[in-house]
Amino acid sequence: MVASTVEHHQSGYRTGGAIVCFALMFAAALYVAHCWFGGGSTNIISDSYGYLARARGHTVGVPYDTRILQPFLARLVSSVSGLYEVTAFELLTPIELLASLILIAGMLRRRGADIFWQAAITLAFGCGVAVTFGYTPVLLDPLTLLLACLMITALDRNYLTLALIVACLSALNKEYGAVLGFIWAWHAYHRGYRAYAVMGALLPALALIVAMLAIAGDTMRGFSSWQNFTGGMFGYHLMLLRNRGPYDYPKILYMWFWVTMWPLFVISLLEILRQLRNRAGIKEDQFGFIIMLAALPVLLLGDFGRTLLIAVPFACIAATSLPLARNTLFASLLAIGGVATALARPFHGDFDVPKALTLAATFISATASVLLLTKIIRSYLRNRAAKTGQKAIVYGASAN
């Protein structure tokens, strides 16, 4: 009997692992399609030129001069292998994305997530980032995502020193990565290292400030000052609306919301609001997400389809303990919506994708979004009704 039970569990583990592996391979195939056949390998956007200049040792202005980690890695790979810097970026980006997805699946597994939830998040999120960075591989955001995943993994294993180093590195890859220092500080304080919590919270920001003071460059591609950069960020969405028009702008926002897994943000936020309203304690996995919510006004200023990726791992682990994470239909809709949205995005290759396929993927994505939102609202209302019923029973018992 015991041997039969063990064999059953091993079989289930192998089957579950195969499902997650399939999700990873599907996302990898999408990345290859957009990078090799969809024009990604030749697509160098404005930010990419700044990062390539940094990888070649040039200073180019704010904010590129302080975003040094990924350009340094690209330069290292280039010098060791003899590859061009752009090829080094194209090599690093898929490795970072794949490693991030594997780490996220591991986080979910350690928190007791069933295999459908792990596969759904891996598939939906993996397809979104595969299409985004398959077409624009010379960017820093995949490394920022990986560093967030590494910090959570280090904290899970109680490697606080390693987690703090990762937070500092994140600040040196993109300035908003300094927010990881505050998440580290809460974990350090919660685990009894109160004397180090404040220092740890400020250390990533201090590393960023040192980089700002130490590296002074020209404005070949960047802004002349951080004040000008901040002003440009506040006007980014207005500029995007003017350039892309009122028809394309909402579509862009919709794609960005799916890349950053909007259903996870919504259900995690509603749960935190419910707990605050009921004066219930905040769980450990929710606190990092709360800090990311506090950073949303900054993260949403620019291209949040990329900047908000740092918050996705925290949304994943915050949502995993909720009842909807154990609902097979919800997980299925999440996977379907993520895949359909990725397939509906433009393909820039030499051959045209059939318009019928794009329209079908768009329809499926919109339908999945509506069904997900409906399920979230029904779950929220059901929980409120249950809470109201419990209060009525308590009041009735008190009156008697």
Query: Per residue in 192-210, pLDDT tens?
Result: 999 899 999 999 999 999 9
Which stretch of 261-265, 376-380, 390-394 has the lowest confidence by average pLDDT?
A: 390-394
Does the pLDDT value for residue 9 go beyond 50? no
H or E stretch covering 21? helix 2-32
- Of 7, 9, 19, the residue nearest 108 (C-alpha): 19
Q: What is the pLDDT of residue 387?
A: 66
Section 213-218 average pLDDT: 74
Which stretch of 21-25, 85-89, 145-149, 193-197 has the lowest confidence by average pLDDT?
A: 193-197
Question: Which residues are CB-contacts of 74 (< 8 A; sequence separation ≥ 6)?
Answer: 51, 55, 85, 88, 89, 92
Q: Token pair for residue 369?
A: 């979004």
Section 339-365 average pLDDT: 92
Does the pLDDT value for residue 7 go beyond 60? no
Does the pLDDT value for residue 3 go beyond 50? no
Does the pLDDT value for residue 1 go beyond 60? no
| Euclidean distance between CA atoms 322 and 112, whole angstroms | 11
pLDDT tier at 173 (50, 70, 90 boundaries)?
very high
Q: What is the pLDDT of residue 28?
A: 97
Query: Per residue in 108-142, pLDDT tens?
Result: 999 999 999 999 999 999 999 999 999 999 999 99
**Alpha carbon 128 to its chain's center:** 10
Rounded to two decimals, the pTM is: 0.93
Q: Are 177 and 144 in contact (CB under 8 A)?
A: yes
Q: What is the pLDDT of residue 130?
A: 98
Q: pLDDT higher for 306 or 214?
A: 306
Q: What is the pLDDT of residue 149?
A: 98
HEC profile of 85-110: HHHHHHHHHHHHHHHHHHHHHHHHHH
Q: What is the pLDDT of residue 287?
A: 95
Does the pLDDT value for residue 392 go beyond 60? no
| Sign of the torsion angle spanned by Cα atoms 222, 227, 230, 236 | negative
